[in-house]
Amino acid sequence: MDKRLWMGFIAVFVTLEITAFLVNGLLLASTYESLKSLWREDMMSKMWIYHVITLIGSFFFTLVFSKGYEGKGMMEGVRYGAYIGIWLSVGMAYGTYASIAIPYSLALQWFLYGVVEYIIAGVVLATVFAKVAKAPAA
């Protein structure tokens, strides 16, 4: 596997971890606190699972991008991130809304923030691929 894949994977993982913290740890913290009766009592002890999910998802997000990479710049990353963001976020947000008594506003925020997170990750990935492709061979 080439260097772009591994560097992109690491960049996407870090990006998604940071954006997840900003969204869930800061922007939605008060909403989560107001709904604490809905969450598992042992939820915090299971947070490591989200990091594993992000690790695996980051790899496949990068792998799929690498198979269709056209070198068309930042907009290629925006488009890819939007497609994947809509695909993954709609199921997570509205699937949860259908099965747990969360307010619709939270489902909508999960969907919208999720799309934005993946667009950011797509831009980061396109940038990494472009920079690595231009780097002189060692």
Taking the chain (138 residues) in consecutive chunks of 10 residues, what is each chunk's mean pLDDT? 91 98 97 92 91 98 96 96 98 96 97 98 97 70
d(CA 135, CA 118): 25
Q: Which amino acid is at 27?
A: L
* pLDDT number for residue 40: 87
pLDDT at 132: 85
CA 75 centroid distance within chain? 17
> In the numeric block, which tokens belong to residue 10?
């690491």
Predicted local distance difference test score (pLDDT) of residue 136: 64
pLDDT of residue 39: 87
What's the pLDDT score for residue 126? 97
In three-state secondary structure terms, 135 is coil
Task: Output DSSP code: residue 47.
Answer: T
**Eight-class DSSP state of 102:** -
Task: Find all residues with CB under 8 Å of 2, minimum gap 6, and list them.
Answer: 66
Give the C-alpha separation, 39 to 35, whole Å.
Answer: 7
pLDDT (0 to 100) of residue 137: 57
**pLDDT attached to residue 103:** 96
Alpha carbons within 13 A on the beta-carbon side of 43: 9
